[in-house]
Amino acid sequence: MSDAVTNGADGSLADDLVFTLWFEGARPDADSVRSLFARTLVNSDTQIEVLTDSAREGAGDNGSAGATVLIGECRFTIEGLTPGVPAQTLDPSNRFGLDVGALAQAQSIRLAPQSLFVNDISVIAVIRDAVRLALALSGADRCLAVGWAAADSAMSAAYFRKVAADWLGGGPFPALGLVALESDADDGLVSKGLAVVTGQELVIAAMPGMVVADRARIAIRMIDYLVGHGPVDQVETIKVEGFSELIMAPDATGKKIYLKKSPIP
């Protein structure tokens, strides 16, 4: 499993650990954020510090408004709050519980880890804290959707609240939302976003007699397993409940895990 978070403009890991929240109408302001966290994050390790953009490290003169949040050992920034301009976002390619075009008129804020405070903290710990904060923010009035950069995803607020609360309560990792499944040229299912946690993406090849829905069910279970157990560095045989034994192995680069019924060349 990846051990620490890095940050920078070179496409490093922290660029993927970003939540976007879309709102139908007015976005929350800093006082609303403070109130939401006070109601929902009752642990003593949560502090809210609201700074002007000129006082925040790396803030630009772009008319934005934001807050800084210290939770545990990690510091996050929230940008795009009222009364400033909305955060700039792209239309996600993977949607869960959302129709195409649902976000066209929405305004957004962004929640991201701050580089100064994320070094030497495990990635899964940062993600868990980010989910806690995003879950609280999704309770704001007229929150429409929650997006996760690593998976290029957008989830309806209701869907996100369910899968996030389940995971934080000890349930499975949100394999559809914080990870997405996409098709490759060989009709395989490929995860998007799993590498943020494990350093590897999962590829489930097309298998005779197995429909896509079954492969998706296997992928969901395997993603939860891999988040808990870390990367695969050798060939393994694994039994997935409800299915036959499967062979799992990394490719030559170590960046992908292949799951097949037959031996992997």
What CA–CA distances, in Å, run from 52 to 17, 44, 66, 89, 175?
Answer: 23, 24, 7, 22, 36
What CA–CA distances, in Å, run from 81 to 66, 93, 135, 147, 186?
Answer: 6, 24, 16, 16, 43
- In this predicted model, what pLDDT tens digit does every residue of 140-149 receive, in sequence order? 999 999 999 9
- In this predicted model, what pLDDT tens digit does every residue of 69-108 receive, in sequence order? 888 778 899 999 999 899 988 889 999 999 988 999 999 9
The domains of the chain are located at 13-168, 180-260
Q: What percent of the chain has pLDDT over 70?
A: 83
Q: pLDDT value at position 100?
A: 87
Segment 166-195 mean pLDDT: 94
Spatial contact of 212 and 181, defined as CB atoms under 8 Å apart: no
- pTM for the structure as a whole: 0.87
What does the alpha-carbon distance between residue 17 and residue 74 come to, in Å, rounded to a whole number? Answer: 12
- In this predicted model, what pLDDT tens digit does every residue of 10-61 receive, in sequence order? 345 678 999 999 999 889 998 899 889 888 886 656 666 655 454 444 444 4
Where residue 8 falls among pLDDT bands split at 50, 70, 90? very low
Segment 170-176 mean pLDDT: 97
Count of beta carbons in the 10 Å neighbourhood of residue 113 = 24
Strand partners, 29: 82
Q: pLDDT value at position 15?
A: 85
What does the alpha-carbon distance between residue 161 and residue 180 come to, in Å, rounded to a whole number? Answer: 17
Q: pLDDT value at position 11?
A: 41
Whether the per-residue pLDDT at 248 is higher than 50: the answer is yes
Whether the per-residue pLDDT at 128 is higher than 90: the answer is yes
Q: pLDDT value at position 208?
A: 80
23-62: burial string, b at 16+ Cβ within 10 Å, e else? beeebbbbebbbebbeeebeeeebebebeebeebeebeee
Mean pLDDT computed over every residue of the chain = 85
Q: What is the DSSP letter of 141?
A: T
